[in-house]
Amino acid sequence: MDATLNTELLDNLLTLANRTCASREEVRVWSMSGVERLTFTDGGTAIFKYARRPFDREEQALRLAKTLGVPVPSVHASAVLDGWLGMLLEDLGAPIREADDLDGAAAAVVLHRTRTAAALPVLDQEGLRGLPARALEHLGHLRKADRWEEAHDIEDALDRIAQAAEARSAGATIGPFGWVHSEFHPTSLHIGRRGWRLLDFARAFTGPGLLDLASWHGTIDNPDPVRLRVFLETYVTEGGTPDALAERGGLPAEKWALGWHRVWAVEWFMEQSIRWINDPATDPAYIKAVRRHLTDVLHLLEV
């Protein structure tokens, strides 16, 4: 983000909040978003978070979640400038410990029990079924730009998944179906002295809650259906719907969840490559990640 634009956005937020900033400390900065801790002249603190599309709807999602009773940081002020969203958020301070599986299961139960919000985008069975076709469209745009030209194996895998998608996407609306955090990882669950808060709602949507549970252990390691099954059982023990353990699409819940979460991730990576990041220099890393996830999907969804 341009430094001048960043400063102007922050100035707008400070004016809205009637505060004066004494110092800024970077917490995390990425090409599409950033987080800073602000200290005000009166000694108070807040989090300054900024992001551009497609992460520019988080303010709305956080306010909705807060209204509906989900423990999230309070939004003190928000503003949009030249396509960038800026927010002043409640500073939760340093976490007292890392979130574990029991924390994650309990937080997911609370989120998935929350009444759905009409403003959130919806990913139902039709939406799931369309993900491989959307990924193929992204691939077509990449090839028109003379990129990803040797990725014939990716096209073949997406074709196979697309052909099986109608059958394998069955059961998408079996519970839990509703709020999906979509970036549900231990780093998005803040355990503080005053309890827990969920962070990072920029891509929240309405859909299969199993996608959250499948994302909890991340995508760096190989998918582990046995580990996810244990997590699903913990989720049910903590009060989640027993339907979370039900078969869907002809598959055990854990394989269905891990498989479709990887399909969702592949479509997102490919959209980033052509639309949001659009930098050929990043292609080797994205192609490697997409190939790895597609190999997992073919196995998990038994395509």
- Give domain status of residue 96, yes or no: no
What pLDDT score was predicted for residue 196? 98
Q: What secondary structure, in 3-state letters, does 145-197 show?
A: CCCCCCCHHHHHHHHHHHHHHHHHCCCCCCCCEEEECCCCCHHHEEEECCEEE
Residue 1 confidence (pLDDT) above 90: no
- Give domain status of residue 233, yes or no: yes
- Give domain status of residue 130, yes or no: yes
What pLDDT score was predicted for residue 31? 80
Q: What is the three-class DSSP state of 29? A: strand
What's the domain range around 213?
Answer: 101-300
Q: Are residues 217 and 279 in the same domain?
A: yes
Q: Are residues 289 and 185 in the same domain?
A: yes
Per-residue pLDDT tens over the stretch 35-69: 999 999 999 999 999 999 889 999 999 999 999 99
For residues 69 and 74, give the distance between their C-alpha atoms in angstroms, rounded to a whole number.
12
What pLDDT score was predicted for residue 70? 97
One-letter amino acid for residue 164 of the chain: A
Query: Last residue of a domain, which of 89, 115, 142?
Result: 89
Torsion sign over Cα 232, 234, 240, 241: positive
For residues 19 and 46, give the distance between their C-alpha atoms in angstroms, rounded to a whole number.
10
